């Protein structure tokens, strides 16, 4: 097993960028690892290396975890190549796993009574809510609505574009959040409701938003605690929808580029039975 902190700029500093998150082994030396950007910890994933990580009490600590095995039964490449071969046309849009994969609660005993949907919570702390394009009465479980077409809401504004599901919408929001500083400024200040792709939220739509939040964000304090590192700007006036629209275009371009690379690489992966980086001159 290999695990190591990730940093986009290589300057992650323990105690300054985050607090907590010390890595402990139950037995042996070193007993404790202080995570720094670029560090890699390699150990066998068995009873010889029982380990734990302290709670992150401030900031954000990103970790890439990998498992390696000599047992070919666990080879995922063949399965993934088969999946890609069958579903390549649809792969530009995210596919959801079962809804319970995205539900988080600290208390398993009250799993559905307390907790929240992780995707919706992430959207919420970034200043967005969701409005379903479907009638709620058609679904017995509100989480099923997140697998259907949705629209983004910010304050009393509804973004007209429909997203295929909650993951698709979250991709757009996260891409905008990460790339906002790289996007062009709007030509002029845009007042709420003045952008062609934004309309005022109707009363019935407000009720839908409220209903989704009441059912899928049941523990707001827990949401804020878990995602406290996220930049929340829910009270921001005159949100720049033009820049957000530019982010969606950028996301679509980026997705198409990756899809094209997958299409060019897939024949080589099929031939060799493994997934690897195909040199540009080959593809």
Tell me the β-bridge partners of 117.
103
Kindly state the tokens that stand for 106. Answer: 């600290």
Q: Are residues 61 and 114 in the same domain?
A: no
Rounded CA-CA distance 104/185 in Å is 37
279, part of any domain: no
Q: Is residue 130 part of a domain?
A: yes
40 and 160 both lie in a single domain: no
pLDDT score of 183 = 67
Most confident option among 44-53, 134-143, 179-188, 193-202: 44-53
Q: Average of pLDDT values for 239-243?
A: 87
Rounded to whole angstroms, the Cα distance separating 276 from 206 reads: 47
Question: Which range is least confidently modeled, 118-132, 225-239, 257-271?
Answer: 225-239
Q: Given phi > 0 = left and psi -120 to 50 = alpha, else beta, which region is 197?
A: alpha
HSE of 110, CA atoms in CB hemisphere, 13 A: 8
- Of 35-39, 130-134, 200-204, highest mean pLDDT: 200-204
- Shared domain for 110 and 41, answered yes or no, is no
User: What's residue 237's pLDDT?
Assistant: 61
DSSP output for 8-36: SSS---BTTTEEE--EEESSSS-SEE---
* Cα–Cα distance measured from residue 86 to residue 253, given in angstroms and rounded to the nearest whole number: 23
The domain containing residue 38 runs over which residues? 2-66
Peptide bond into 30 cis (omega under 30): yes
Average pLDDT over every residue of 176-188: 67
Instruction: Give the pLDDT confidence score for residue 92 in this predicted structure.
Output: 62
Mean pLDDT of the chain: 78
Cα distances (angstroms) measured from residue 61 to each of 6, 36, 136, 220: 8, 10, 37, 22
pLDDT value at 166 more than 50: yes
Q: Where are the alpha helices (DSSP H) in 59-202?
A: 77-87, 118-125, 166-179
Give the whole-number percent of the chain exceeding pLDDT 90: 14
Whether residues 252 and 122 fall in one domain: yes
Has residue 251 got a pLDDT over 70? yes
Same domain for 186 and 59? no
Asked if residue 30 belongs to a domain, the reply is yes
Distances (CA, A) of 53 to 26, 37, 57: 11, 16, 12
CA 7 to chain centre: 17
Q: Are residues 20 and 122 both part of a single domain?
A: no
């Amino acid at each position: 097993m290999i695990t190591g902190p990730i940093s986009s700029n290589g300057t992650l500093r323990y105690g300054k960028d985050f607090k907590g998150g010390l890595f402990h082994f139950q037995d042996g030396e070193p007993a404790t690892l202080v995570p720094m950007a670029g560090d890699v910890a390699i150990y066998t994933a068995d009873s010889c290396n029982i380990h734990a990580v302290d709670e992150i009490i401030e900031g954000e600590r990103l970790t890439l975890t990998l498992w390696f095995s000599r047992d070919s039964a666990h080879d995922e490449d063949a399965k993934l190549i088969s999946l890609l071969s069958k579903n390549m046309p649809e792969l530009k849009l995210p596919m959801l796993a079962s809804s319970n994969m995205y539900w988080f609660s600290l208390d398993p005993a009250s799993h559905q009574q307390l907790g929240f949907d992780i995707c919706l919570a992430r959207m919420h702390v970034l200043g967005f809510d969701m409005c379903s394009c479907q009638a709620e009465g058609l679904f017995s479980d509100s989480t099923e609505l997140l697998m259907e077409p949705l629209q983004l809401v910010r304050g009393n504004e509804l973004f007209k574009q429909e997203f295929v599901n909650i993951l698709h919408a979250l991709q757009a929001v996260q891409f905008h959040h990460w790339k906002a500083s790289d996007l062009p400024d709007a030509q002029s200040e845009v007042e709420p409701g003045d952008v062609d792709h934004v309309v005022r939220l109707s009363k019935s739509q407000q009720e839908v938003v409220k209903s989704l939040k009441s059912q899928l964000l049941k523990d707001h304090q827990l949401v804020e605690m878990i995602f406290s590192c996220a930049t929340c700007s829910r009270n921001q006036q005159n949100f720049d929808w033009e820049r957000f629209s530019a982010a969606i275009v950028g996301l679509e371009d980026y997705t198409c580029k990756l899809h094209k690379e997958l299409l060019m690489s897939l024949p080589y992966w099929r031939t060799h039975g493994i997934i690897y980086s195909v040199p540009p001159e080959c593809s």
